[in-house]
Amino acid sequence: MSMQTFAPLMFAGLILIMLIGFPVAFSLSALGLMCGFFAIEMGWFSPDFMQALPLNVFGILSNDLLLAIPFFTLMGSILEKCGLAEDMLDSMGQLFGPVRGGLGYSVIIVGFILGAITGTVAGQVIAMAMISLPVMMRYNYNMRYATGVLAASGTITQLVPPSLVLVVLADQLSVSVGQMYKGAWGPSILQVLIFALYTFMLARFKPDHVPGVPKSARSLDGWALWGKCLRGIIPSAILIFAVLGSMGGLPGINTAICTPTEAGAMGAVGAFILAALHRRLTWPVIREGMTGTMRITAMVVFILIGSRVFSLVFQGVDGGKWIEHMLSNLPGGQLGFLIVVNVFIFFLAFFLDFFEIAFIILPLLGPVSSKLGINQVWFGVLLCVNMQTSFMHPPFGFALFYLRGISDSLFKSGGLLRKVESTDIYLGAIPWVVMQLVLVVTVIFFPQTVTVFLDEEAKIDIDKVQIEAPPQQEPDTKPEDEQKNTDDLFKNATQGDPAASAPEGAKEEDPTDAVRKALEGDAKK
Identify the helix (H) or strand (E) that includes residue 518. helix 511-524
pLDDT of residue 515: 46
Phi-psi region of 248 (alpha: psi -120 to 50; beta: other; left: phi over 0): left
The band of 118, judged by pLDDT with boundaries at 50, 70 and 90, is low
Q: What is the pLDDT of residues 73-84, one digit of tens each?
A: 788 777 767 767
Highest-confidence range of 96-100, 150-154, 234-238, 332-336, by mean pLDDT? 150-154
Using alpha carbons, select from 50, 20, 58, 13 the residue that is nearest to residue 33: 50
Question: In angstroms, how far is CA 292 from the centroid of its own chain?
Answer: 22
User: What is the DSSP track for 92-157?
Assistant: HHHHHTTSTTHHHHHHHHHHHHHHHHT--HHHHHHHHHHHHHHHHHHTT--HHHHHHHHHHHHHGG
Q: 3-class SS at 502?
A: coil
pLDDT of residue 521: 54
Residue 187 CA neighbour count, 13 Å, CB half: 39
pTM of the entire structure?
0.73
Average pLDDT over residues 118-127: 69
Indicate whether 479 pLDDT > 90.
no
- Residue 339's pLDDT is 87
With contact defined as beta carbons under 8 Å apart, do 285 and 271 qualify?
A: no
- 122: confidence class by pLDDT, cuts 50, 70, 90: low
Res. 188: pLDDT tops 80? yes
90 alpha-carbon distance from chain centroid? 32
Task: Provide mean pLDDT across the span 312-337.
Answer: 78
Range 181-209 average pLDDT: 90
User: Which segments of 20-101 does DSSP mark as H helices, in order?
Assistant: 24-42, 52-61, 68-81, 84-96
Question: What pLDDT score was predicted for residue 69?
Answer: 78
Phi then psi dihedrals of residue 475, to 5 deg: -65, 160
Is residue 161 predicted with pLDDT exceeding 90? Answer: no
Q: Average pLDDT in the 331-337 region?
A: 81
Q: For residue 147, what are the CA distances in angstroms to 90, 113, 314, 347, 418?
A: 18, 19, 42, 23, 14
CB 384 within 8 A of CB 169: yes
- Over residues 120-148, the mean pLDDT reads 79
By percentage, how much of the chain surpasses pLDDT 90?
A: 5
Q: Higher confidence at residue 168 or residue 94?
A: 168
Q: What is the pLDDT of residue 255?
A: 73
Q: Which residue has the higher pLDDT, 336 or 49?
A: 336
SS3 308: helix
CA distance 454 to 446: 14
Residue 103 has a pLDDT of 83
* Residue 506 confidence class, pLDDT cut points 50, 70, 90: very low
103, 96 Cβ separation under 8 angstroms = yes
Within 10 Å of residue 54's Cβ, how many Cβ atoms?
9
* Average pLDDT of the chain to the nearest whole number: 77
Q: What is the pLDDT of residue 435?
A: 92
Burial pattern 170-179, b for ≥16 Cβ within 10 A else e, equals bbbbebbbbb
Predicted pLDDT of residue 314 = 81
Contact present, 158 and 354 (Cβ < 8 Å): yes
Q: Which of 427, 353, 403, 409 is nearest to 150 (CA)?
A: 403
Looking at residues 13-33, what average pLDDT do you find? 77
Of the ranges 35-39, 47-51, 62-66, 474-478, which one carries the lowest mean pLDDT score? 474-478
Contact 26, 299 (CB under 8 A): no
Q: What type of residue is 446? A: F
Average pLDDT over residues 218-244: 74
Rounded CA separation 225/483 (Å): 97
Taking residues 298-314, report their average pLDDT.
Answer: 81
Query: What is the chain's length?
Result: 525
